[in-house]
Structure 1
Amino acid sequence: MRVLILGSGVGGVTSAYYLARQGHEVTVVDRQPAAGMETSFANAGQVSPGYSAPWAAPGIPIKAMKWRMMKHRPLVLWPRTELRLWGWLAHMLANCTEEAYRRNKSRMVSLAEYSRDCLRDLRQETGITYDHREQGLLQLFRTQKQLDGIGEDTAVLDAYGVPYEILDPAGCVSVEPALKLVKSKVAGGLRLLGDETGDAHLFTQRLAAIAEQLGVRFRYGTSVQKLLTEGDQISGVQVNGSEVLTADTYVAAMGSYTPQLVKPLGIHLPVYPVKGYSLTMPIVNPGAAPVSTVMDETYKVGITRLGDRIRVGGTAELAGFSQRLRAPRRATLEHSVTDLFPQGGNVKQARFWTGLRPMTPDGTPVVGPTRYRNLYANTGHGTLGWTMACGSGRVLADLISGRVPEVSHKDLAADRYKDEWRFQAA
């Protein structure tokens, strides 16, 4: 079968790899000059199934109000008249119940755990390297109140058999020795033993090269204009002005831009671009840098060791498709990393980056078929695109190949939103 994938981020490339492994003739198109150049370029570096949870959670509306008073706040909402944003926020608030949180987190943990297993298998099959480490993630709590509030999360982890440890300050230092310099700032932590780290950009580019060896064709510098239809099928994709590309099956994996692509077809995906930021700096003192990933729960900032670099990622900014680099967001990242690892990296040499994370209001991605018989979607992973990439790509390839996926997928497709999720154009 001929499959055309729109988008060469980590989701599009993993989909291409698994489809090629299953014998399909695959072409990937992207407007960038290489794979993984947008949202996958400089994310936080975490493969964190244990930390997979929706932003929509009980208590979030109150927390959001408190965050607005913080100098280094994890959530930033710019005043906008955009109806699509306010509709997305309304549906996010509707998911801030205990029942919805348990349902959504269970979906996300299930897919993320499966994805991590797929990543491990892929590593063994291909020998791919990408500055990865398999030394867990430490969710660090600065207050006792934060530590006392993890019961809902650990209940889901217990239900799925996800290994974890609850640590006191001494335990946190034992797994992240550099924290001994700031032990007084640590109330405790939740260590997720099965979580990993790695450079998503490096992984995406190297997997694209492996996929090419399997016969996948990449067409870079190719802008997608619109999908063409004939009845209940896609008949082609218009690119670069007037050129039309055809295939038997199509996959929309364009991140935050996917809703704009499919909206003219009557497909309404509640995926909004949630802007994230990162800093990447050289390590100057290996013993004072993180061993793996430390998630600063107060500021929702992840601090990850990637080879000889430290990647600091965080902030959720609702500002439409703006990619302006804002100094206050940099200040938040710098504050978190210098507060916890003051001697680890050279902040003055840090590279500041921003990307648009495609997020759904319930946190669960959109992976699977659409109302058009030969059109599939792979988007909406939010902050967990790297974590869920291999699992989502494998699920998608299995569905296209007529196989039954190895993990539950019935609540991942776009039809879970039905008619109640309708948004104005961005």
Structure 2
Amino acid sequence: MDVIVIGGGIVGVATAYQLRTAGHRVCVVERHATVAQGATYGHGGIVLPTPLDAWFGPTFLGNRRGVVYRPGLKSSARRFARRLAQLQAPEAFRDQWLRLRPLVELSREAIASIEAGFHLEFEQREGVLHVTRQPREWEQVQSALDLLREFEMHHHVLSASECADIEHSVPAEPAFAGGVLFPRERTANCPLFTKLVKQVLDEQGGVQFLFGRAVEAIRLENQRAAVELAPAEGERKSAREVDVISCDAVVVAAGAGSAPLLEQFGLSLPLHPIRMLSLTAPIAYEECTPHLTVVDSIRRVSMTRMNQRIRVAGAAVLQPERELAKPLAEPLAEAGAALLAQATHDWIPGAAKISAAHEWEGLRLLSPDGLPVVGNAVHPRLFVNFGHGPAGWGLACGSAKVIADLVSGTTPSVPHDTLSALRAERFAN
């Protein structure tokens, strides 16, 4: 089949890879000049989420310490936050993790296959240490620890002194409540991985990349599908001169740009774009740099060494949708940068030269139940793959495999309950 994938971030490129592996011909349409230029570019690096990383459950929005939160009283952002808060109860959190977990494990297998098959090096680093400051906040993470024990996920619960012994960059004073070490979980360079997979596809053939073009609309018919392209920069065309690419199926994997493409079919999803910030700073003092990734579990800020720099990511800015098209207001940008800088000062003092940091911000689409939107939607020739949120870029590799199976008419290897939980139509229930 000929398949068009809309979006050249990690999700779109991973989808193209899995579709090509399944024997399809693929065209990836991306509005930027190359891959990994949108939300993929500033990712914090955590490859796959654990119950402590999932963007639902007891530590998300509960105290808003990691969220620069400025919605109006009646805004869509506040309604979105209320829906997500319903998953904070331990039983609801457990049920939702049960739905997500098969996708996490499928993603782990998909990444391992790509990594081993092509001997890719993308700054992989083992070991993630979650740390929690206050005893009352430690209580918040207990339901996540219960899930780690129930599903026998490899981890170690540590005291403050044990955290400092294992990770020398974390100061034992002032005292903090404790930490959780995941010795086998990894961080890696997401945009580098995306570019390396594109390189593999370029060498193998069968995948075309069309850069600098945005998709204006999708056409769906019984026998074929097509996408209408906006004019390239500098081009002027009349309404009769629209560029159209025909195909057998379309996969929408355009992140925050996905929703407008689906609204033409009457599919309005309650997902909300959330603005994420990151700092990439040069190393200040080598002896202070962490060898593990350190995550402030409550602020949801990750601090990862990437070669000769430190990537500090988190600081979600939750705003009404009408404000997302504008540049981030200076007070909010300053508040977000201050949150990231404070986390580095608290947990890895002396490691990062924050004054010389490169600042980044980008939109990531988050669903009100914390799960991505993956599967067939509206029409037999239309598929969707977006809404993975900030917690783990590796989920894209598993959801891409699900999409490739569905396009091929093969039953995906994840349980039916998980497939149902990922469908776009779930929000109509």
Do both proteins adopt the same fold according to a TM-score greater than 0.5, normalized to the shorter chain?
yes
Inter-partner Cα distance in structure 1 for 2:268 and 2:53: 23
- Letter in structure 2 aligned against 1:349: A
Q: Which residue of 2 aligns with 1:121?
A: 113
Asked if 1:154 corresponds to 2:154, the answer is: no
1:87, distance to aligned residue in structure 2 (A): 4.2
Higher deviation after alignment, 93-102 or 136-145: 93-102
Asked if 1:419 corresponds to 2:411, the answer is: no
Asked if 1:168 corresponds to 2:177, the answer is: no
1:332-351 alignment runs, 5 A limit: 332-351=339-358
Inter-partner Cα distance in structure 1 for 2:196 and 2:378: 33
1:162, distance to aligned residue in structure 2 (A): 1.4
Higher deviation after alignment, 406-415 or 219-228: 406-415
Inter-partner Cα distance in structure 1 for 2:94 and 2:143: 8
Higher deviation after alignment, 390-399 or 375-384: 390-399
Asked if 1:361 corresponds to 2:379, the answer is: no
1:360, distance to aligned residue in structure 2 (A): 0.3
Is the CA contact 1:26–1:217 (under 8 Å) kept in the aligned structure 2?
yes
> Residues 82 and 16 from structure 1, CA distance in 2 versus in 1: closer, same or farther, beyond 3 angstroms?
farther
In structure 2, which of residues 373, 377, 381 is the aligned counterpart of residue 370 of structure 1?
A: 377
- Letter in structure 1 aligned against 2:24: H
Is the CA contact 1:10–1:385 (under 8 Å) kept in the aligned structure 2?
no
Is the CA contact 2:269–2:427 (under 8 Å) kept in the aligned structure 1?
no
Q: Which residue of 1 aligns with 2:178?
A: 188
- Letter in structure 2 aligned against 1:386: W
Is the CA contact 1:279–1:353 (under 8 Å) kept in the aligned structure 2?
yes
> Residues 238 and 46 from structure 1, CA distance in 2 versus in 1: closer, same or farther, beyond 3 angstroms?
same
Deviations 1:308-359 (A, max 9, x none): 2110011121223244261121111111102222221211211010111110
1:6-405 alignment runs, 5 A limit: 6-51=6-51, 54-58=54-58, 63-64=62-63, 67=64, 73-80=65-72, 84-134=76-126, 136-179=127-170, 181-215=171-205, 216-230=207-221, 235-241=225-231, 242-319=242-319, 320=321, 321=324, 322-324=326-328, 326-405=333-412
Inter-partner Cα distance in structure 2 for 1:371 and 1:250: 12
Is the CA contact 2:158–2:180 (under 8 Å) kept in the aligned structure 1?
yes
Is the CA contact 1:199–1:306 (under 8 Å) kept in the aligned structure 2?
yes
Inter-partner Cα distance in structure 2 for 1:82 and 1:36: 35
- Letter in structure 1 aligned against 2:391: L
Inter-partner Cα distance in structure 1 for 2:339 and 2:305: 18
Is the CA contact 1:42–1:353 (under 8 Å) kept in the aligned structure 2?
yes
1:284, distance to aligned residue in structure 2 (A): 3.0
Is the CA contact 1:53–1:108 (under 8 Å) kept in the aligned structure 2?
no
Inter-partner Cα distance in structure 2 for 1:46 and 1:361: 21
> Unaligned 5+ residue runs, structure 2?
232-241
Higher deviation after alignment, 364-373 or 111-120: 111-120
**Alignment partner of 1:50: what SS?**
coil
TM-score (norm. length: structure 2): 0.89
Is the CA contact 1:108–1:363 (under 8 Å) kept in the aligned structure 2?
no
- Letter in structure 1 aligned against 2:307: G
> Residues 287 and 394 from structure 1, CA distance in 2 versus in 1: closer, same or farther, beyond 3 angstroms?
farther
Inter-partner Cα distance in structure 1 for 2:53 and 2:350: 31
Deviations 1:180-203 (A, max 9, x none): x44434321011233101111111
Q: Which residue of 2 aligns with 1:424?
A: none
Is the CA contact 2:3–2:26 (under 8 Å) kept in the aligned structure 1?
yes
Inter-partner Cα distance in structure 2 for 1:52 and 1:230: 44
Is the CA contact 1:369–1:413 (under 8 Å) kept in the aligned structure 2?
no
Higher deviation after alignment, 291-300 or 9-18: 291-300
Higher deviation after alignment, 18-27 or 338-347: 338-347
> Residues 225 and 307 from structure 1, CA distance in 2 versus in 1: closer, same or farther, beyond 3 angstroms?
same
Count, aligned residues: 409
